[in-house]
Structure 1
Amino acid sequence: MSWLDSTVHRALVEAAMVGALGGVVGVFVIVRRLPFFTMALTHATFPGIVVAALLGLNLYLGGGLFGVLVVLAVVAFSRVRGQDFTSATGIALSGGFALGVVLVSSQDGFSKDLTAYTVGDVLAVSTGDLAITAGVALAVVLVLALVGKELLLAAFDPTGASALGLPTALLDFALLVLIEVTVVAVVPALGAILAVALLVGPAATARLLSDRLAVLFPVAAAIGVLCALAGVWVSSQWNIAAGASIALLVGLVFGLAFLGSAVRGRAARARAAGPAALPEEARA
């Protein structure tokens, strides 16, 4: 009997992979201020899910392919004069989701259950899901190894990147596709609604803990893995939704880091102010 034949073991492996993947890619989401785009992407891929359901295809494949079209649309809209990236994302979000609703409403008797896609269930992942997640993780690592520095330069200094002759439009497209495939890989575990938690929370928490870019990637990945594994354990022990458990733990860890950061900041300001910040009776 294979170790991966166990439901819990498969869930733990999937949780570890999506936690690390979400943490690493999430650093780019935070650096480029793309949380709204990430959330929009989870909803804008809905038409691809509906089409895949109608054709009897894999739901995640449908969502992934349509997601690439959404990314192309966002990049194209954002480069039109008078439009910014946020507006383009909003257009893609509303348009994509509306198209999905139209497709569903046009099909009399549409009965395909899309709960698995919208909510997810890490305890129900198959070995095929594990293979897909591993493939996505490998592809992400290869892309970051090849153009990771260029992506970071374009994120921090797009003007400088253009001056150096870098293809910023292509780099933007590559980054958005990385986010899109990561969202699709995370969906089986957390669902489309909660996938954004693993792509924003761990990286945002790491950002509170360190300002050094080289530290953000391993810290975010570690936070993502620990929260995902802990969420699976909580789910198996108390029979509650695994995706929601993971998302709640990510939020809890971020909240604790935020409070710790606020306390450290207040202490640092008090030290910088020196004795003048103390009450008169304390200085005497």
Structure 2
Amino acid sequence: MTWLDSTVHRALVEAVLVGVLGGVTGVFVVARRLPFFTMALTHATFPGIVVAAMLGVNLYLGGGLFGLLVVAAVLVFSRGRGQDFTTATGIALSGGFGLGVVLVSSQDGFTRDLAAYTVGDVLAVSTGDLAATVAVTVGVLLLLALVGKELLLAAFDPVGAAALGLPTVLLDFALLAVVVVTVVATVPALGTILAVALIVGPAATARLLSDRIALLFPIAAAIGVACALAGVWVSTVWNVATGASIALLVGLVFGAVFLATALRGRTRRAVPVRA
């Protein structure tokens, strides 16, 4: 019996991986103001899940591939006359979810259980899920290490990035693709509904603690890992839903840091300035 044969051990490893992955990717999501896109994307992958279930292939592979198609559609729609990224996101992603519902309703006797995909269960991850998460985490970290500066420049100053001759459309697709694979990799642990918490929450909390971009990544990753591990512990001790525990802890940490920074700001303003 190997160490990873234990359910709890696999859950702990998965928690560390998704904590790092969600935290690091979340910095770009927050910087580019993509929380709405990330939340909507969790629903837009639904048609890919349904098709994968109908064909008997891996659900997460189906969701990831369809998510990439949705990303391409959003980029195309957002460049239409009178359109912007938010509008294109709403149209493409709501349309994608509608397609999934149509596919389900058209199949008589379609009873494939998709509950695990919507709410997740980190205690039920398999060795294969761990391998997939490792591959995604390594791939995302390598990509961000190679083009992270370019992605940040395109996020904060798209006009300047275009003036420098950077392929902004390709960079946009690369960033959105990173969000897609991060969402899909996080789904086994938290599900589509709660995955956005581990992507947006730690990065938003890190932003309250520091204004330095270089520090946001380790802070967000540390918060993500801490909340994920604590969520697994809470789930095993009190026998409650793991994904919901992780998401709740992320929200509590953000709220506590927000209140602390707000009170500190008031205290500093109350202290008289000395010459």
TM-score grouping bracket, smaller chain normalisation? over 0.9
Partner of 1:76: 76
Corresponding residue for residue 152 of structure 2: 152
* Rounded Cα–Cα distance in structure 2 between residues aligned with 1:86 and 1:96: 15
Query: What secondary structure does 2:60 align onto?
Result: helix
Please state whether the residue corresponding to 1:62 is helix, strand or coil: helix
User: Using the alignment, how far apart are the partners of 1:92 and 1:113 within structure 2?
Assistant: 25
- Which letter does structure 2 place at the counterpart of 1:3? W
Which stretches in structure 1 are left out of the alignment for 5+ residues? 276-284
Provide the aligned length of Structure 1 versus Structure 2: 274
Matches within 5 A, 1:135-174: 135-174=135-174
Deviations 1:1-26 (A, max 9, x none): 10000000000000000001000000
Q: Which amino acid in 1 is paired with 2:75?
A: V
Cross-structure match for 1:208: 208
The corresponding residue for 1:48 is 48
Q: Which has the larger radius of gyration?
A: 1
Paired AA for residue 208 in structure 1: L
Moved over 6 A (4+): none
SS at match of 2:29: helix
Report how far residue 267 of structure 1 moved.
1.4
1:227 corresponds to 2:243: no
The residue number in structure 2 matching 1:181 is 181
Cα deviation digits, residues 84-122 of structure 1 (max 9, x gap):
000011011210110000000000111000001001000
Q: Match of 2:156, as an amino acid?
A: F
What is the CA-CA distance between 1:268 and the residue it aligns to?
A: 2.1
User: What are the equivalent positions in structure 2 for 1:256-267 lying under 5 Å apart?
Assistant: 256-267=256-267
- Distance in 1 (CA, whole Å) between partners of 2:135 and 2:243 is 21
Percent identity between the two aligned chains: 80
- Name the TM-score, length of structure 1 as normaliser: 0.95
The residue type equivalent to 1:143 in the other structure is L
How far apart, CA to CA, are the structure 2 residues paired with 1:224 and 1:195? 12
Determine whether 1:109 maps to 2:104: no
SS at the partner of 2:263? helix
Q: Which amino acid aligns with 2:207?
A: R
In the alignment, structure 1 residue 190 sits paired with structure 2 residue 190: yes
Q: C-alpha root-mean-square deviation of aligned residues, in Å? A: 0.9
Residue in structure 1 matched with residue 86 of structure 2 by the alignment: 86
Deviations 1:150-195 (A, max 9, x none): 0011011100000000000000000000000000000000000000
| Cα distance in 2 between the residues matched to 1:90 and 1:270 | 44
Q: 1:265 Cα shift? A: 1.3
In structure 2, give the amino acid aligned to 1:169: V
| Structure 2, unpaired ranges of 5+ | none
Matched, 1:98 2:73: no
| Secondary structure of residue in 1 paired with 2:177 | helix
